[in-house]
Structure 1
Amino acid sequence: MEHWMLNPLEFNQVKDLLKEQASTLLGKEKVEEITPSSTYIEVKERLQATQEGIDFLRLKGEMSLGGIRNVLPQVKRSTIGGILSETELLEVSSTISAGRRVKSTVRQVEIEVAELPLLRSLTEGIESLDHLEESLTVSIDEQGFVVDQASPALAKVRRAIAQYRQQVNQTLQQILRNSNYQKMMQEAIITQRYDRYVIPVKQEYRSAFGGLVHDQSASGATLFIEPEAVVQLNNRLREKELEEEREVERILSILTGQVAEVADELMQNLSILAHVDFIFAKARYAYVAKAVCPVLTSNRTLRLKQARHPLIPADEVVPTSIELNDEQHALIITGPNTGGKTVTLKTIGLLALMTQCGFPIPAEEESLMPVFAGIYADIGDEQSIEQSLSTFSGHLTNIIRILKAVEGHSLVLLDELGAGTDPTEGAALAIAILEEIMGQGSTVIATTHYSELKLFAHSHPQALNASVEFDVETLSPTYRLLVGVPGKSNAFAISNRLGLPEWIIQAAKQQLSSDENRLEDMITLLATDRKQAEVDRQEATRLREETEKHYQEWMAKVEAWDEEKAKLKEKARQEARQIVNEATRESEDLLKQLRQWAKERPDQLKEHQLTEAKKRLEAAVPELELPQKQRRGKTHDQIDVGDEVLVLSLGQTGTIVSKKSDHVFQVQIGFLKTKVNRHDLEKKASKPQTKKKAKGLTSITRSKEHVRPELDLRGKLVEEAIGDIDKYVDDAILAGYKQVSLIHGKGTGALRAGIQDFLRSHRNIKSMRLGSQGEGGSGVTVIELS
């Protein structure tokens, strides 16, 4: 007996759904040939290939498989001496081209984006066969016609054919235009009969016209005559046409030989392309059916989340969730007729078959499926409770065959187990069959109406009850599967809803045994508890979703607040920097004026003029409370007037000139004075040096130890670089440098151009040049300070 019972589970109809997604006949044949596998590694590889196809479609949108033809018969015929036609050779060329495109398309997906190991390994096995494809495309055009360029001989003979046809046509046109012959013509046209050019002549002018008669009309009134003037031309034309046919045949023979030389590679390509099409047929089905690749388990654990029967329309199917762990070997499903028991049974079996074929299953993510050694089913379409003995015999015959064949970890599906005979005997027989199958280590899922099987599932440690839900209010099934709850008899409830007197219903209940009453009470209690648990679960889900929503809203507000705070800080920093830059420019004007006065009138510069200039300088520098950054200075260091400090928020070094309070100091940065919080200051080890100038003029000069002879501007924008250069030039002048270097790098040259445009108009730049070979070349601008 077969290990896979496909027909009762309608597996072939599922194959038809996948065939619709295949692009080629090769892919459709691959779908038709597939059978379930009982090997864990093989099933895992099949599902991995399907998942890679799904991932590829998600990334690339589609895989083009157009142009692939089943050229296996042509290839085999080429190896036994047959000559392929133009169309057949064109199909070979198209298949080679399609294989090359498939290989290239997979290569375009970067490994960092998606590894796709199986798909890459598969497509890398496709042989390019560029030489054969080129020979075919050069010799045969897209319409399947051997072109003149296929050989010099063919080109020559076709030129001759064209010349002879032209001569024949010209000669016949002269005859048609001749007034002596016009009355003899049935029509003034040139036509062909048996590959000869002829003219339609009236019957009565046969003897007067002359020539060879090749055909006549059905009425006999028209004769198709080849005039004597073109007989020799037609003969030569026909000779050339036969010569053309021989040359074309020779070319086709050569091309067929080239196909035969790579027959093995072509057949390998066909096999790979068929497999690729099969993979993408499964992947496309996953998108159409909203299916997923289940996770394989190495034990008996089975968990289907919102599983759907693949043959029921999506707008009609009711999802089913089922879970069996490694310790549960039997699931007993009870419930009313037409309630969905058989559909549930088929859904489980069908999804197991699909999994072991590598098909995606219509269920939600995180569904788990084991690998079964075999899948056996005894499922009948008869839903009537009035089953005949012959039906019982048929079911029992199938069960006997299953018991003989089942082995290892198999899945056995039994519909209406024990039905069709005496209820007591049928129930006892059903329990014995269940125990036998479970004892062999297989998983069994059975549907039944017997209360004894409900008690068996309730008491057996490896069995589990389940039922299909029935709505008593509407007197109709809901098709929902309730795992863990046995099906309750709804006969009394339905009778009550339909108006049967209550005393009759009570009298009927008294006919039930005490065990049956206890069972009904147990089922009622379980159903009530389950409904309450479902209500509680839905409320918990609602609260969780509401909490998550509030959390997301709160996080969005926090992110928006952080972003706004960052924008405000950046705006304040930009404004502060603009103010400082303006003050710096003003100080430079004053500094230049002082220098000019000292140079032109060293003896005339009065003390009150110097004092007035210093006041203007101080007035030009705003006293700002700079925004604090996260980095803080070392508060344990003692800072006093005269100490050199680093202003963290500006990244500049300055000197403490006064202490405004315990936490606020006035810092001089170059010619700028500003108030800075203690947390924004970090004490430096060395202090600025001062020196006296002649004539009683005093200035502050920064030590060369703290100002480098070059400024690195690489990686900065032009606007940022200009601000840094402005400050650096001032520091370099105060440090006593006459020449400094600006390092901007080569790059695109945009930064260098922007810097040099700024330097040309700078008041303190005497000259500039690009660096020499030893100074950095065009990546450095050397400036001379005035």
Structure 2
Amino acid sequence: MGLIDAISRTLSERGEVLDSASPQLARIRKQMQVVHDRLMSRLQRLIGDPKIARYLQDAIITQRDGRYVIPLQADFKGRIKAIVHDQSASGATLFVEPTSVVELNNEYRELQLAERDEVRRVLAELSQRVGEYAPELEQTVHVIARLDLAFAIAKYADHLRAAAPTLRPIRPRKGSPHPGTVIRLRQARHPLLDPETVVPIDLELDSQTYALVITGPNTGGKTVALKTVGLLALMAQSGLPIPAAQGSELSVFRSIFADIGDEQSIEQSLSTFSGHITNINRILKRSGKRSLVILDELGAGTDPQEGAALARAILDYLLGRGVTTLVTTHHPELKAYAYNTPGVVNASVEFDIETLRPTYRLTIGLPGRSNALAIAQRLGLPEEIIAAARAELHPDELRVDGLLDEIHRQREMARQARAAAEKARREAETLRAELAARLEHIEDERHAVLDAARKEAETQLEALRGELEAVRRQLKRARQPLDVIAQAEEKLEVVEEEQMPPVERRRPRLPRRTAAPRRVILRPGVKVHVPQLGAQGVIVSLDEEQAEVQVGVLRVRVRRAELQAAAEETDSPEAAAAPQSDSAPKAEPVTAPESGYAPSPGVELDLRGQRVDEALDELDRYLDAAFLAGLPWVRIIHGRGT
């Protein structure tokens, strides 16, 4: 009997030991039931006896110390031959066991002890059997935990409307201080904010940029933007989908450091400035080219001039070490620093002067504007004070603010135009889908009408052929010439030859979407490049979404969109001019995407002959490399040692 059957036979769904656990247990419990019924019957007769009932406190049967007793009024002690087991808190009631049921109580108690011993024996035996399967059960629990984690991640991702980002390896560039990291977040949202109300941000550090300086008003969303990037990077490296749009990309950082918030401590006598510097000092000692450093309000909490100088020096130190850095600040000097320093770019959170509220939109490439005078004017500060304040400012600063205002307005107009274009594109896609559905319906009707006409013609021709055959037989019996019948049959054959063939379904032709310049012609026999494997192969067969490709001795299925053109198979004027036979399948041009995967470690890993610890370490390294290379599957060869 298997382990599952043994457990099912022994334990109920509530964890109780069943009678079927052993024949001995079933026999003991059957005897217990018989003795219990006899005991209850005798006690019921006692409490129902009028001579005894008048001495009882209540006409009930209860238990004390595992024995069945009845409640006797203390004043009538001795009126009933019984053994006292307990008394009530007031002392008015004695719980006694009549001597007439002592033997039955003893027998019932003995059977209870026998049941306990048998249950222990059964559970010990079952536990021993479970122990024999300990490795398999541990593995099962581990797999169930992994499945539970996968379902939890999927449920969480569905709740956040999250997507899986593309993880990019860090590739330092020779002769460049850029660490080779990638941060490209599209429509990113903080995972703890309501997805219905949060304003998503777009953040991208290009191939020339690895430091971002964000400026803008308080409560404008600067700190939330930093936390969003840090949390999404950690989520991605933990195997979680991130609350961002498809196409987001992140590097796999070795470490992520953050100094966010007010670190002042009365207990440790630390001010805000001291708390920040203590954290930053620890971060500077431990960060490197494969780190992501996030600093909030850099240089705050001290004299503005000294704070700005210290902030520039810290940024210079991090940039010199090639550390990917995101900072927020209120120091205007850092705007010019970001503009003049290679590898650094400005960013800002927007503020609506009309409503005096932040928009929470992050703008890359532009520093934040100084809105103090505009806000003061909107709040009703006297005009002469506003004018006096403007007079104190350098004309160049006023011109810079004016230029920034104009640039922000132009970008806002461009954003609105882009949103309108995106809306129009979605509407066009919707109309295109509706048109496709209508054309499909029309094609269904055409197919049905033509098929019905063809079937009706076949029926009529069959009936005519039957009539001609009947006339032929009649003429033959009458010994009449059959020339007329022969002519009619020849005409019938001509009609049958001209009859329409079975109706073929036509696919509705819709306007093609604009294709990318690089294309590969997909058809059986074409040589293509498979980026996930880093190898070339030949297409064996195609369906609507996937292609079967022969790569060496292997056959793999790859999505059509992931295939790239081999060098000799790219489109050319000669290839376009080459005629194709009617019988050959139609070639379909598709976009060949750029490959952004890490080098492939190969599709096979042989662990035979290695010790367990060595094999597990090598397997972890291989699976990480295979995932970063985008391999769709791998083969692991292992075995039991001799």
Considering the TM-score relative to the shorter chain, is it more than 0.5? yes
Residue matched to 1:245? 116
Paired residue type of 2:248? S
Q: Deviations over 1:354-399 (max 9, x none)?
A: 222222211111111111121111212599xxxx993223222222
Structure with a larger share of its residues in helix: 1
Q: In the alignment, does 2:401 pair up with 1:530? A: no
Q: Distance in 2 between matches of 1:678 and 1:142?
A: 71
Quote how far apart the aligned CAs of 1:443 are.
1.0
**Distance between the aligned counterparts of 2:48 and 2:433, measured in 1?**
93
Larger radius of gyration: 1
Q: Is the Cα contact below 8 Å between 1:308 and 1:317 reproduced in 2?
A: yes
What letter corresponds to residue 271 of structure 1 in structure 2?
Answer: H
Match of 1:297 in 2: 168
Does the Cα contact within 8 Å between 2:256 and 2:292 map onto a contact in 1? Answer: yes
- Comparing 343-352 with 517-526, greater Cα deviation is found at 517-526
> Normalised by the size of structure 1, how large is the TM-score?
0.57
Is 2:279 the counterpart of 1:279?
no
**Preserved CA contact (<8 Å) 1:389 1:421:** no
Does 2:468 match 1:582? Answer: no
Partner of 1:154: 25
Alignment of 1:222-371 (within 5 A): 222-299=93-170, 300-371=181-252
Q: Are residue 597 (structure 1) and residue 478 (structure 2) matched?
A: yes
CA deviation after TM superposition for structure 1 residue 675, in Å: 9.5
Distance 1:506 1:219 in 2: 91
The residue that corresponds to 2:626 in the other structure is none
* Equivalent position of 1:196 in the other structure: 67
Compared with structure 1, are the counterparts of its residues 335 and 228 closer, same or farther at alpha carbon in structure 2 (3 Å cutoff)? closer
Partner of 1:417: 298
- The structural deviation recorded for 1:520 is 2.6
Give runs of aligned pairs for residues 274-673 of structure 1, distance below 5 A: 274-299=145-170, 300-381=181-262, 390-500=271-381, 504-513=385-394, 515-549=396-430, 551-598=432-479, 614=484, 667-669=491-493
AA partner of residue 270 (structure 1) = V
| Whole-angstrom CA distance in 2 between matches of 1:154 and 1:210 | 35
The one-letter code of the counterpart of 2:156 is: Y
Structure 1 stretch displaced more, 562-571 or 348-357: 562-571
Please give the residue correspondences for 1:696-707 in structure 2 after superposition, counting only pairs within 5 Å: none
Q: Secondary structure at the match of 1:209?
A: coil
- Alignment CA distance shift 1:573-1:389 (3 Å): same
Q: Which of the pair has the greater relative contact order for Cα pairs under 8 Å at 6+ separation?
A: 1
Counting only pairs closer than 5 Å after superposition, residues 133-152 of structure 1 correspond to structure 2 as: 133-152=4-23
> What amino acid maps onto 1:145 in structure 2?
E
**Following TM superposition, by how much is the alpha carbon of 1:188 offset from its aligned partner in structure 2, in angstroms?**
4.3
Q: Is the 8 A contact 2:262 2:276 kept in 1?
A: no
Shift of 1:546: 4.9
Paired residue type of 1:355: A
**Any idea what SS the aligned residue of 2:325 has?**
strand
Q: Contact 2:262/2:275 (CA < 8 Å) preserved in 1?
A: no
- Conserved 8 A contact 1:389-1:420: no
In 1, Cα distance between the equivalents of 2:430 and 2:62?
84
Contact kept in structure 1, 2:289 and 2:324, CA below 8 Å: no
How far does residue 542 in structure 1 lie from its aligned partner after superposition? 4.4
> Contact 2:454/2:500 (CA < 8 Å) preserved in 1?
no
Q: Which amino acid is the alignment partner of residue 477 of structure 1?
A: P
Change (3 A) 1:281 1:541: closer
Aligned to 1:750: none
Cα shift at 1:523: 2.1
Between the two proteins, what is the percent identity of the paired residues? 46
Moved more, 357-366 or 146-155: 146-155
- Amino acid across the alignment from 1:295: T
> Whole-Å Cα distance in 2 between the matches of residues 238 and 365 of structure 1?
70
**TM-aligned CA deviation for residue 499 of structure 1:** 4.3
Structure 2 Cα separation of the partners of residues 282 and 543 of structure 1: 34
Shift of 1:543: 4.5
Task: Give how far 1:230 is off.
Answer: 2.6
Give the distance between the partners of 2:437 and 2:18, measured in 1 at CA.
Answer: 68
Q: CA deviation at 1:401?
A: 1.9
Counterparts of 1:677 and 1:159 in 2: how far apart (Å)? 89
Q: Which is worse superposed, 309-318 or 471-480?
A: 309-318
TM-score, normalised via structure 2 length: 0.68
- Structure 1 residues 593, 252: CA separation in 2 closer, same or farther (over 3 Å shift)? same
1:154–1:244 contact (8 Å) kept in structure 2? yes
Q: Residues 583 and 450 from structure 1, CA distance in 2 versus in 1: closer, same or farther, beyond 3 angstroms?
A: same
Does the 8 Å CA contact 2:263/2:271 hold for their aligned counterparts?
no
CA distance in 1, matches of 2:73, 2:300: 90
Alpha carbons 1:153, 1:247 under 8 Å: kept? yes
> Are the aligned partners of 2:263 and 2:275 in contact in 1 as well (CA < 8 Å)?
no
RMSD over equivalenced CA pairs, Å: 3.3
> What letter corresponds to residue 244 of structure 2 in structure 1?
A
Gaps of 5+ in 1: 1-129, 599-604, 622-653, 656-666, 681-786
The CA distance in 1 between the partners of 2:439 and 2:13, in whole Å, is 64
- State the shift of 1:345 in Å: 1.2
Q: Whole-Å Cα distance in 1 between the matches of residues 225 and 169 of structure 2? A: 24
Q: Secondary structure at the match of 2:250?
A: strand
Relative distance call for 1:213 and 1:557 in structure 2 (3 A) is closer
How far does the alpha carbon of each residue in 1:184-235 deviate from its partner, in whole angstroms, 9 at most, with x for none?
Answer: 4554444433333334445555444323333344555544433333323333
Deviates more, 1:210-219 or 1:442-451: 210-219
- Go from structure 1 to structure 2 and tell me whether the alpha carbon gap of 1:453 and 1:196 turns closer, same or farther (over 3 Å shift): closer
- Partner Cα distance (2:427, 2:304) in 1: 52
Verify the 8 A CA contact 1:301 1:324 in the aligned structure 2: yes
Deviation per CA, 1:670-725: give whole Å up to 9, x if none: xxx64977999xxxxxxxxxxxxxxxxxxxxxxxxxxxxxxxxxxxxxxxxxxxxx
Aligned residues: 487
